[in-house]
Structure 1
Amino acid sequence: MRIRNLATFVKVAHLGSFHAASQQLHASQPAISARIAALEEELGVKLFQRDKSGTRITARGAQLLPYAEKLLAISQEMREQVSEDKPERGTFRVGIADTLAYLWLSPLLQLWQSNHPLLSFELTNDVTPTLTHQLQQHQIDLALMVANETLAPDLVVEPLCSYPQCWVAAPSLVGQQQHLTLDTLATFPILSFPRDTHPWHYLQQLFSKCEEPPVVHTCSAVAGLLMMAEQGLGVTFLPEPLVKKPLEQGRLVMIKTEETPPELSFCYSWRLDDDRILPRLLAESGRSIIDVSLA
C-alpha cells in the first residue's frame, strides 16, 4: 500500500473535492483520480461517491480514514527519527562508570558534541547498581557500566569493551614481594570499589578461601583508589589501562597471585521502552572510538 495514495485519500476526504486536493498536492486531477482508483482496487472497496452534487466519502471510506491518518503520522515520525538532517535538541542524560569516565569521558564527549552540536549532555559518574536503578527510574537515558548477567530484562544491553585486571601496590608497601599467596595478600589492606559492585563481590569470593579475611577499604573513584595505592595505603586490583602509566613510572608494581583476576567487561544500556534512535547512535559512535583504541 503506497503512502502517497493514502495521503491523497486523506486530503480528498478532508477537502471533499478531487479538484481542491489536486491543487494542494500540486498534481493533476487525473493523477489524483488514478491514486484513489489504485487504492480502491487494492482494498476492494469504493471510497468516494462522485456525482453532480459533488464528492462524498462512503461508509467504507469513513471507516478507513482514521487508520490512514495514523499510518501517515507514523510514516512522518519514522522519517523524522531516522533523518540525518534533523539536528537533535534538548538534554540527554548519560551515566558512566568511573573506570570508563577516567579513560574515555573526554574523547566520548568531544565526539558526541561534534555529532550532536545542539544537544546538551548531563553526565553522572557512579557505580553500576546505582546506574541501573537510575535507568529504570528514568533519571538517566544511557548508561556505560560494568556488564552484569543479572541486569534487568526491561533494559537493552549491548557489549562495549573488556579489560584484563591486575593486582598492584606501591613498592614501599610490598617491597620486592611481587608474587604473593592469597593468605599473604590478605595480610595487607585491600582497596576496592564499593560494596555490591562486581569487583567487591569478586573479593568476597576470592578471600573466602583464606583463614583470615583482609581489611577492605572502598572508594567509588578511580582517582581515589590510584592515589591511595600509590601512597602505600593498600593493595588493589584494577583494569590494566588504569595502571599502565603508574607501572611504567615505577609508582606502582604489579603483584602476581595464584589466581588471576577476571577481565572486567563493560556495556551500554538503555531502557527497552525508549524508542528514540539517539541512545543507539551515541552507543555506536562511542564504541567506534574504543574499538579503534583496542585494535
Structure 2
Amino acid sequence: MNIRFLETVLWLAKLRTLKATAEQLYITHTAISSRIAALEQDLGVKLFEKSGQGFEPTPEGIRFIEEAGQIVESYHRLRRVMLDPSKLRGSLRIGLVTTLTPTVFPYLVKTLREEYPHVSLSVTVDMADRLIKDLKGGRLDLLLTSSWPQDPSYEIVPLCSFAMGLVASPTLGVDVKNPLAVEQLANYPFVGYPSGTDSQMRVESYFSGVNQVAGVHATNGSYGNVQLAVAGLGISAVPIVSVKAELAQGLLVLLPTVKRYTSVHYAAIFSKDGGTEIPRAVASLARQAAASFCEAVDPAHAWQDQPTHISDQ
C-alpha cells in the first residue's frame, strides 16, 4: 500500500469511471484496476461495485475513502513541514484567476508570511488561458486557476470547488418568484466571457439547445462580469461566494433556476521539472488556505476537493 494507490481510490470514488480516472492520473486503465485489486487483496474487502453510474464505493469502501483522504492529506502536510522554512528562500511568480483574489488568496498570503517569511511573491491576475500561456512560457512559476493543461509534466493540486449562480441587478426586471427555465433566461442579455475560454464554454453548454441572446463579453474575468451585472447590463454566471456583498446590499439578486449551473473547480498548477521546491511548498499552502476559506463560508457554496497529486505509475 502506498500514497499513489490511496490517491487512485480517491479519484475513482470521485470520477466513477476508469477512463476519467486514467486521464486524471495519466496512467492506464489496467494500472488503475491493478492498484485497486492490490488494495482489495491486501485489505480483504471489496472497495467498489460496478453500477449503471460507474464504480460505486461499497460500505467498506466508504470507510476506507474517509480514512485514506486523511492519510493522503497528512502525508502532503508532512512533506511541507519537512521543508525547512529557513532554507526556503527566494521569489515566486504566481498567477491567479480573479475569483480567487478576494477569496482564497488572502488566506494564502497570511499563511505564507507565517510559514515561509523568506519567500516573496510577484502576483499576476488574469484569465486562465493567458495564465497557462505564461506558465508554459516560463514567465510564471505557479498558477491558482480554474483550468489547466492536460500535460503530465505539470503537477495539479486540487484546491476547492465553488458553486455557481446566475445573478442580475434588480433593475433588469427578472421575475424571481418562480424558478426560471433556460428558455426564460435566454430572453435577457447575458454577460459572458471571452470566446473560447472554459468559462464561456460553460455558458454555451448551459444554454445549449435554445436561441440565446448575444452576450456582452467581459475581458477581465468574473470581477468585470460582476460589475456589468450590477450596472444592469445583463445576467451573469459567477461563483456565489464572490458576490456575497453585492447580494447582501441588494445590488444583485440570485436567480432561482430550473437547471443548475455547473460548479467550477480550482487547483494549483506547477511544473514538475522546476529547479526549486518553492512552487510545491506554496501549492501545499494554497490547499491549506482553500480549506480555511471553505470552512468560513456556506458549505453549499464552497467546498474542498479530495487531495491528490498527479504522479507517474
Aligned AA (1:268): A
Corresponding residue of 1:173: 172
Corresponding residue of 1:160: 159
How far apart in 2 are the matches of 1:203 and 1:223?
16
CA offsets per residue over residues 86-141 of structure 1, 9 Å max, x none? 33333210011110113133332222133222222110011221222211111111
Distance change in 2, residues 1:200/1:118 (3 Å): same
In the superposition, the TM-score normalised over structure 1's length comes to 0.66
**Does residue 1:190 correspond to 2:190, yes or no?**
yes
Corresponding residue of 2:253: 253
Identity %: 25
Alignment of 1:94-173 (within 5 A): 94-148=94-148, 151-173=150-172
Question: Which is worse superposed, 106-115 or 256-265?
Answer: 106-115
How far apart in 1 are the matches of 2:230 and 2:202?
22
Distance change in 2, residues 1:153/1:164 (3 Å): same
CA offsets per residue over residues 5-51 of structure 1, 9 Å max, x none? xxxxxxxxxxxxxxxxxxxxxxxxxxxxxxxxxxxxxxxxxxxxxxx
Q: Which runs of 5+ in 1 are unaligned?
A: 1-81
Aligned AA (2:171): S
Corresponding residue of 1:278: 278
How far apart in 1 are the matches of 2:294 and 2:119?
28
Aligned AA (1:173): L
User: What secondary structure sits across from 2:223 in the alignment?
Assistant: helix
User: What secondary structure sits across from 2:269 in the alignment?
Assistant: strand
- Once the two structures are TM-superposed, the CA of residue 175 in structure 1 deviates from its matched residue by 4.3
CA offsets per residue over residues 197-232 of structure 1, 9 Å max, x none? 222001122223113443332232433222211121
Q: Which has the higher contact order (CA 8 A, sep 6+)?
A: 2
Following TM superposition, where does structure 1 have runs of at least 4 consecutive aligned residues deviating by more than 6 angstroms? none
How far apart in 1 are the matches of 2:192 and 2:212?
18
Q: Is the 8 A contact 1:191 1:219 kept in 2?
A: no
Distance change in 2, residues 1:85/1:239 (3 Å): closer
User: What secondary structure sits across from 1:223 in the alignment?
Assistant: helix
How far apart in 1 are the matches of 2:258 and 2:264?
18
How far apart in 2 are the matches of 1:263 and 1:93?
28
User: What secondary structure sits across from 1:102 in the alignment?
Assistant: coil
- Once the two structures are TM-superposed, the CA of residue 147 in structure 1 deviates from its matched residue by 3.9
How far apart in 1 are the matches of 2:85 and 2:229?
49
In the superposition, the TM-score normalised over structure 2's length comes to 0.63
Aligned length: 214
Distance change in 2, residues 1:217/1:187 (3 Å): farther
- Once the two structures are TM-superposed, the CA of residue 83 in structure 1 deviates from its matched residue by 5.0
- Once the two structures are TM-superposed, the CA of residue 281 in structure 1 deviates from its matched residue by 1.3
Across the aligned residues of Structure 1 and Structure 2, the Cα RMSD in angstroms comes to: 2.2
How far apart in 2 are the matches of 1:292 and 1:116?
18
How far apart in 2 are the matches of 1:253 and 1:92?
38
